[in-house]
Amino acid sequence: MWKGLSLRARVLALLAALIITTLVGGLVTLWHNEAMDSLLASLVEKNVASFHAAEELEASLLRQKGFLTYFFLDGNPAWLKEIDKNNQAFDEWLQQARKSAYTKSMEELIGQIETGYQQYLKERQKVIALYKKGKKQEGARLHQEVRQQFAVLLDLCSRYKLMHEYAIARVRTESQARARFINAFALVAMPAVGILGLLLAYILFKQILGPIRRLALETNPANVGSRVPDEVLALSHRVHSLMENMDQTQIELERSQEHLAQAEKWALVGKLAAGAAHSIRNPLTSVKMRLWSMNRSLDLAVPQREDLEAISEEIRHIDSIVSNFLQFSRPQKLQREKISPSAVVDQTLKLMHNRLQLYGVTVKLIRQVMLPEIMADPEQLREVLVNLMVNACEAMVGGGELTIQEGEGEDEVLGRVAIIKVTDTGPGIPATIQEQVFQPFFSTKEEGTGLGLSIANRIVKDHGGRLALQSREGRGTTFTITLPFPEEQAWATS
């Protein structure tokens, strides 16, 4: 059976045996100490106290007899006072003996002592009275009977004292028996622990440390034939080195996989962009030409002409979206010009007017003055704002309020900046996905491409700015666009 066990099972079995043996030894020792404490407590609190009371009863009784004899010899009444004192002491020790009695036989014996003592007192008082009256012969005859009562009473006190001597001897015998048991157990346990320890040492050296040494030498060919001072340490260093190499390889493999996946996404985007260019741009061009022809040939009323212009603007917007999608994998340079971000906001609100009404969204524009001009691409900035507004409208199902707040500020990195905050009253974005919303192809919508916020973030970064997100579930979302002013745009002059 032992040979059928694995190395791990053998080591665990020996360790378990050692632990169990040690625990049993500790428990037995604790039990022995507890038992000894109990015996000593019993000895001190019961037997010793009762034994002392028995000795005092016997001594008090003997002193009374002696003082009585002195009184009979010389008739000095002072001896009677000493007798009374010892009589009182005998009563006190008798009460203490009754309290310390812990067996029925002890209580019965104390009751006999008390009854006999009371009878002895009555007869002794008669003898004393006869001697005081001068009737010494009658007193002497009665004194003989009193002596017999005294002998019986003294024998009862001796028996009570002897009872406690036996109890103390019994405790001592029991303590010695337990000590012998502990010694015998130790004589058995110590060789057992020694044998188990030798077996464990044999397994450790023969079946664990030996193979580890060979493995350490084999994994480090440079030290073959040399002495290895610490096999475990050498093998540990080698294993750690292998693990570090493996971790580094794993990291590089994961990076390669990520790059490969990203490359596949770019390839897919390129194919999709090429198809979109041929499938969407050609019809859009035809539609724009016809709209331009209608605008020149038809005599339209003012509302109709405004509708026609809105349609043309939306078509241009679609064309811009397609262009951005095509440029996602091949970004083009910005067509910069001096323009106020506030003007871009106004253009975007005019462009989004009908869509905002369709979603039931009201707009609140907070602006003290028009923001100063910056070097920017108005088309792409408008694309950023359109993307943020569309996302906000889709988040506020059933309508809501969209707040656009403009202002200026100071940034530690960008210096003096223009700030545009777009805040909705939607359900907010969960904190677990906030770091992923700007990643390409990440979308929470079933039909979303996941490119909108990624393109918006790239456009803002291309302008030297920053697009930040603040959101709490149930309290809406705020996107903050931070754009530097011309004097802080070092790239503008490069």
Specify whether 45 is located in the same domain as 125: yes
State the CB neighbour count (10 A cutoff) for residue 474: 8
State the CB neighbour count (10 A cutoff) for residue 222: 6
Task: Let me know if residue 280 belongs to a domain.
Answer: yes
Of 240, 241, 231, the residue nearest 211 (C-alpha)? 231
Specify whether 358 is located in the same domain as 292: no
What CA–CA distances, in Å, run from 75 to 71, 88, 126, 128, 198?
5, 22, 15, 10, 87
What CA–CA distances, in Å, run from 306 to 303, 319, 350?
5, 20, 12
Separation between Cα atoms, residue 137 and residue 72, nearest integer Å: 12
Separation between Cα atoms, residue 153 and residue 346, nearest integer Å: 124
Specify whether 55 is located in the same domain as 127: yes
Full residue range of the structural domain in which residue 369 is found: 336-492
CATH number of the domain to which 382 belongs: 3.30.565.10
Specify whether 143 is located in the same domain as 170: yes
- pLDDT at residue 21, rounded to an integer: 72
What CA–CA distances, in Å, run from 282 to 272, 314, 319?
15, 16, 10
Last residue of a domain, which of 281, 310, 332? 332
Specify whether 305 is located in the same domain as 191: no
What three-state secondary structure class fits 125?
A: helix
Task: Answer whether 361's CB lies under 8 Å from 401's CB.
Answer: yes
Task: Answer whether 403's CB lies under 8 Å from 470's CB.
Answer: no
The separation between CA 315 and the C-alpha centre of its own chain, rounded to angstroms, equals: 59
Walk across the sheet containing 361-366 and list its strands. 361-366, 400-411, 415-423, 477-484, 466-471
Task: Let me know if residue 233 belongs to a domain.
Answer: no
Of 57, 82, 58, the residue nearest 71 (C-alpha)? 82
Task: Let me know if residue 239 belongs to a domain.
Answer: no
Last residue of a domain, which of 332, 360, 378? 332
Task: Let me know if residue 215 belongs to a domain.
Answer: no
What three-state secondary structure class fits 419?
A: strand
Task: Let me know if residue 240 belongs to a domain.
Answer: no
Specify whether 200 is located in the same domain as 266: no
- Please enumerate in sequence order all residues whose Cβ is within 8 A of that of 115, keeping only pairs 6 or more positions apart, or say none: none
Specify whether 55 is located in the same domain as 155: yes
Task: Let me know if residue 232 belongs to a domain.
Answer: no
Measured at the CA of 461, the angle between CA 457 and CA 464, to 5 degrees, comes to: 150
Last residue of a domain, which of 292, 308, 332? 332
- pLDDT at residue 493, rounded to an integer: 37
- pLDDT at residue 330, rounded to an integer: 57
Task: Let me know if residue 231 belongs to a domain.
Answer: no
Separation between Cα atoms, residue 406 and residue 421, nearest integer Å: 7
Q: Which structure tokens are listed for 194?
A: 């020694």
Specify whether 398 is located in the same domain as 459: yes
Separation between Cα atoms, residue 146 and residue 126, nearest integer Å: 10
Q: Which structure tokens are listed for 171?
A: 């405790």
Q: Which amino acid is present at 228?
A: V
- pLDDT at residue 56, rounded to an integer: 78
Specify whether 285 is located in the same domain as 163: no
The separation between CA 219 and the C-alpha centre of its own chain, rounded to angstroms, equals: 40
CATH number of the domain to which 194 belongs: 1.20.120.1730
Separation between Cα atoms, residue 27 and residue 73, nearest integer Å: 67
Specify whether 55 is located in the same domain as 186: yes
Separation between Cα atoms, residue 417 and residue 407, nearest integer Å: 9
- pLDDT at residue 484, rounded to an integer: 92
Domain count for the chain: 3
Separation between Cα atoms, residue 200 and residue 206, nearest integer Å: 10
**b/e per residue 402-428 (b: at least 16 CB within 10 A):** bbbebeeeeeeebeebbbbbbbbbbeb
Specify whether 321 is located in the same domain as 444: no
Separation between Cα atoms, residue 458 and residue 464, nearest integer Å: 10
CATH number of the domain to which 265 belongs: 1.10.287.130
Task: Let me know if residue 212 belongs to a domain.
Answer: no
pLDDT tens, residue order, the chain (494 aa): 656 666 566 666 767 777 777 767 666 676 666 666 666 556 555 666 677 777 777 788 788 778 877 777 777 888 888 888 888 888 888 887 787 777 788 788 888 888 888 888 888 888 788 877 777 778 778 877 888 888 888 888 888 778 777 777 777 777 777 777 777 777 777 787 778 777 777 777 776 767 776 776 666 655 545 554 555 566 667 777 777 777 788 888 887 777 677 666 656 665 666 566 556 766 777 777 777 777 777 777 778 777 777 887 777 767 766 665 665 555 557 888 999 999 999 999 998 888 888 889 999 999 999 999 999 999 889 989 998 998 888 888 888 999 999 999 998 888 889 999 999 998 888 888 878 787 776 666 655 556 678 888 888 999 999 999 998 888 889 999 999 987 644 444 33
Separation between Cα atoms, residue 203 and residue 7, nearest integer Å: 8
Separation between Cα atoms, residue 160 and residue 170, nearest integer Å: 15
For 275, half-sphere exposure in the C-beta direction (CA atoms, 13 angstrom radius) is 6
Specify whether 360 is located in the same domain as 288: no
